Amino acid sequence: MRNINVILTVPVLTLSLACNAPTAATVLDSGGKETQLQLRSMQSRVFDTTDREKTLRTIIATLQDLSFVIDKADLELGTISATKLSGYNLRITVSVRPRGTTQLSVRANASFNDEPILDPKPYQDFFVSLEKAMFLTAQQVD
């Protein structure tokens, strides 16, 4: 029995050390190699519309289609937060801001099991889903 405990404790400790990050890095999410600009770019798209309410409602409908339950919504702030539970915990906040006089900028940032998602692919997938619902093209931010 003692042998089993020793055998199991070593990989568990190694795992927890490998996955833990120092406090400063977790509070500021400053440990990644992505710059703030790269992160914003992969998380943002621009749509040719100025209808904030309709855009927020479409974001909510898209998140529901993706099996999220909405946590919070704020029209004035232009933000929606939602959680997807499917054997994992996926949290997302999507914010909508005016860009110039003819466009809206939509930014999504998400975390998976309490880890920030820094891979561009899930964000691409989200915006592909959103542009289908918006009937508008999601344009990459310059």
Partner 1 sequence: MKLKYISPVLVLFLVACGGIPKDALQFNIDTLADRQLQTRKFDIKDEKALILAGAGVLQDMGYAIDESETKLGVVVGSKNRDATSGGQVAGAIVLALLGGGSTPIDKTQLIRASLITRTSDSGSILLRVTFQRTVWNTQNEITKIEAIKDPVIYKEFFEKLSKSAFLEAQEI
At closest approach, how far in Å is the CB of 76 from partner 1? 9
For 34, list phi and psi in degrees, rounded to 5: -75, 140
Return the range that interacts with partner 1 (CB under 8 A); candidates 30-38, 39-47, 78-86, 93-101.
78-86
Contact 107, 40 (CB under 8 A): yes
- Degrees (nearest 5) of the Cα angle 60, 77, 75? 45
Taking CA atoms, 51 is separated from 41, 120, 131, in Å, by 22, 26, 15
Question: Which position among 4, 6, 27, 37 is part of the footprint of partner 1 (CB under 8 A)?
Answer: 4
User: Which of 30, 83, 102, 140 lies at the binding interface for partner 1 (CB under 8 A)?
Assistant: 83
For the four alpha carbons of 60, 66, 70 and 71, in that order, the dihedral sign comes to negative
State how far the Cα of 48 lies from the Cα of 3, in Å rounded to an integer: 64
User: How far apart (Å, rounded) are the C-alpha atoms in residues 107 and 40?
Assistant: 8
Say whether residue 3 binds partner 1 (CB under 8 A): no
Name which position in 41, 49, 50, 84 contacts partner 1 (CB under 8 A): 84
- Min dist. Cβ of residue 31 to partner 1 (A): 15
Indicate which single residue of 30, 38, 89, 140 sits in contact with partner 1 (rule: CB under 8 A).
89
| Interface positions, 22-41, toward partner 1 (CB under 8 A) | none
> What is the rounded CA–CA span in Å between residue 139 and residue 142?
9
Q: Is 21 in the site for partner 1 (CB under 8 A)?
A: no
Which residues bind to partner 1, rule: CB under 8 A? 4, 8, 11-12, 15-16, 18-19, 53, 56-57, 60-61, 64-75, 82-90, 110, 112-113, 117, 119, 122-123, 125-126, 128-129, 132
